[in-house]
Amino acid sequence: MLYSRLFSGISFLVFALALGATLRLAVAERTWPITTGNTRYFKDLAQRQPPLARSALRAAVQLNPRDSAAWMELGLAAERDGDKEQAAACLLEAEKVDRQYQPAWTSTNFFFRRANDLQFWRAAKRAAAMSYDDPAPLIELADHREPNAIAALERLGNSAHLERGYLRYLMGQSRWQEAEEVAARLSLLGDAVDRELLLNFTDHLIEANQGGAALTMWNRLQQFPSADRATRGILVNRNFERQPSGHGFDWRVTQPPRGSVHWEPSKLEFWLAGSTPDACTLLEQWVMLDPGRYRLRFGYRTEGLAEETGLRWTVRHGGREEASSPLLVRAPRRVPNGNVAEWNFRVTKAGLYELAWIYRRVPGTTHQEGHAELAFAGLEAP
Amino acid sequence: MRIDFLRSALAAGLALQLTASQGFAAATVPPIGTVVTAGAFRLNRATVRSNGTLFEGAMVETGAAPARMDLISGARLEVESESTVRVFGGRLVLERGATQLARAAGFATGFLVEARGLTIQPDASAATTRIVLIGERRIEVSALAGSIQVFNSGGLLVAKIASGKALALEPHWMPGRARMTGRLVTQGSHYLLTDETTNITVEVSGSALTKSDLSRSLGQRVEVTGSGYRGTAVEVAQVTPAPPAAGTAPAGGAPTGTAPAGAGGAGGAASGAAISATMIAVIGGVAAAAVVGGLAASGSLGGSTAAPVSR
């Protein structure tokens, strides 16, 4: 009986407390729009009624002087109305009460538009230090004020995040020389997360026919695993000991249409299907060459292909075929170590060349499906 | 409270000094305006929150929140949510979604909006225009305040939209063909027709027509089909009596004989309680239909099941 009464009493007390809390919340909700600290009403009003924006936002910042969003909106509204001094004061106040990214970013933009260098770089440096998103918009502003990327980076305060952003930005603008400088700084950090970006940059340099810069960049990647040093006139990963990366000066492997390709250490094997097109590229590598004669030595085997396999090597420069090897003859797989062959060619200009192993059906022959295997390919100057 | 006041006064003083300082260097590329939104948006494919600075050719993609752009030229643009625009100092290219253009009174006219090959130009400096891309081909243009002119990709005027009216337009609609509906009037020795949908007045002529053909239709509400619109005249192949517009007197019931060019037009058509399905005008390779309640008056405008231009 006693327990029952005690239980009822506790239940009643809990119910009363819950009711009280609910009532307090309800009262608070009703009075919320006019209580100190709630600026949402005025900010909403400013958005809905642009002519009233400034007075509404003034009321908002009076209610809550620590509301940085209201200060920023008031600053931008003042700027729209041509009141630059008021705008600057509000944005500086926003920065003072909120030391996060957004107020600094807003000030950066405002002082950029006002062409106030001193304040622009102060705010931009602050924003850069707190930037966690894509820094491209900040970099674009900085680049308009300081077109020298390295100088701009110094002013913004060096950081790997900014350097990555700058590298992407400069690549997008094809500003290779500055991009090289930024990439060099980034590569010194040796951070594995930068590997893909730097490989991508090397590919862009090659596409832009910046062979020398690409070679330098490629060799800066040595600190990352799986990148062999490249030099002029030498092929990288000549024994296929590592899986071709498809980047920079490493092999780029293309699966033949409707066929397949398989890599294992020291062997690259292609399967050409019966429906493989009459011509396709199987393997390519960029190489820097000086004018002169070169000898390509390679080991290969075939199975199922015709006597005239359709396989050959080509050297391309500037999108044009400069030299083409004779057709490779059939080299049965049962022959130990395959067939070691050589091909001599000459180039007349220094630059970036693309060595490719291609398949091209010989006119007058029928296409036969089969395997083609490459064990090594090395270049030397005789 | 006093500390707050002092702090504000200090900030204002500092700001005044900063904005008045002489250490400015001219920006290499001048900005063309600002963009502000309540959420995040994409500026030149990079995510930005709250606000940003616009340069010539900037691409702005809004997300869930609309964005407001204030340009130095005086143009003010509301880019609606889930829209993509490319903005220049004197024009905006709408690539996706919808936008609303307003201009601060007193600024010179001349700001253009381009969408799907059409150029939309408000007439007055304080005009407000809303442009919405619908589906793959349609553009809906509303003159919320002030009137609008619409030009095709060749620069020919294809529609004049009066204040408070809207048109649904589809460019690349059987280029070279024309179809217009309105009252045939004379001005001197010329036969003129003001299309009720587009409000465009053209001279009607055609080697296949005799003077008596045209005289018979004078003052009547007719539909003309033909070709060769070059901004002033249409080479008409056929003139047929048009069915009476709903809510108006039947054609021929009260011929007016003459009417001032540009009068009536889209306003009269759009103000009807309903608009007949034949009220699709085709002019300068652009099909146009009046919009009522946000929908094209004729359901046949758009898609591949469009009504034939000529019969």
- pLDDT (tens digit per residue) in B70-92: 998 888 999 999 999 999 999 99
Average pLDDT of the residues in B22-34: 65
Q: Please name the residue of chain A whose CA is at the shortest distance from the CA of residue B72.
A: A80
Residues of B in contact with A88 (CB under 8 A): 15-16, 18-19
- The model's confidence at residue A155, banded by pLDDT at 50, 70 and 90, is very high
Enter the tokens of residue B275: 């608009």
Percent of chain B with pLDDT over 90: 38
ipTM of model: 0.75
Whether residue A314 has pLDDT greater than 90: yes
Average pLDDT of the residues in B118-134: 88
- Nearest CB among A79, A92, A134 relative to B46 is that of A134
- Which is more confidently placed, A161 or B209? A161
Which pLDDT score is estimated for B262? 34
Q: Give the model confidence (pLDDT) of B242-263 as tens digits.
A: 776 654 443 333 333 333 333 3
State how far the Cα of B126 lies from the Cα of B105, in Å rounded to an integer.
5
- Nearest CB among B15, B25, B51 relative to A76 is that of B51
Which pLDDT score is estimated for B14? 47
The answer to whether the Cβ–Cβ distance between B27 and A112 falls below 8 Å is: yes
Average pLDDT of the residues in A337-346: 88
The answer to whether the Cβ–Cβ distance between B25 and A106 falls below 8 Å is: no
C-alpha distances in Å from residue A237, one per residue of A174, A182, A248, A249, A360: 29, 27, 12, 9, 25
Residues of B in contact with A96 (CB under 8 A): 7, 11
Q: Give the model confidence (pLDDT) of B260-274 as tens digits.
A: 333 333 333 333 333
Average pLDDT of the residues in B21-26: 39
B181: left (phi over 0), alpha (psi -120 to 50) or beta: beta
Enter the tokens of residue B293: 């309640």
Residues of B in contact with A92 (CB under 8 A): 11, 14-15
Whether residue A353 has pLDDT greater than 90: yes
Lowest-pLDDT range of A24-28, B45-49, B142-146: A24-28
A382: distance to nearest CA of chain B, Å?
A: 51
Reported pTM: 0.76
- Nearest CB among B34, B45, B53 relative to A141 is that of B53
B228: distance to nearest CA of chain A, Å?
A: 46
State how far the Cα of A56 lies from the Cα of A41, in Å rounded to an integer.
9
A18: distance to nearest CA of chain B, Å?
A: 37
- The model's confidence at residue A224, banded by pLDDT at 50, 70 and 90, is confident
Percent of chain A with pLDDT over 70: 94
Enter the tokens of residue A197: 């970006």
Whether residue B19 has pLDDT greater than 80: no
C-alpha distances in Å from residue B205, one per residue of A230, B191, B224, B228, B238: 76, 7, 10, 10, 10
Whether residue B160 has pLDDT greater than 60: yes
Buried b (16+ CB within 10 A) or exposed e, A45-77: bbbeeeeebbebbbbbbebbbebbbbbbbbbbb
State how far the Cα of B142 lies from the Cα of B161, in Å rounded to an integer.
8
Q: Which of A169, A137, A142 is nearest to A153 (CA)?
A: A142
Q: Is-contact A354 A235, C-beta < 8 A?
A: no
- Tell whether A132 lies on the interface with B, counting CB pairs under 8 A: no
State how far the Cα of B262 lies from the Cα of B189, in Å rounded to an integer.
18
The answer to whether the Cβ–Cβ distance between A92 and B55 falls below 8 Å is: no
Whether residue A162 has pLDDT greater than 80: yes
B163: distance to nearest CA of chain A, Å?
A: 22
Which pLDDT score is estimated for A164? 96
Phi, psi of A96 (to 5 degrees): -70, -40
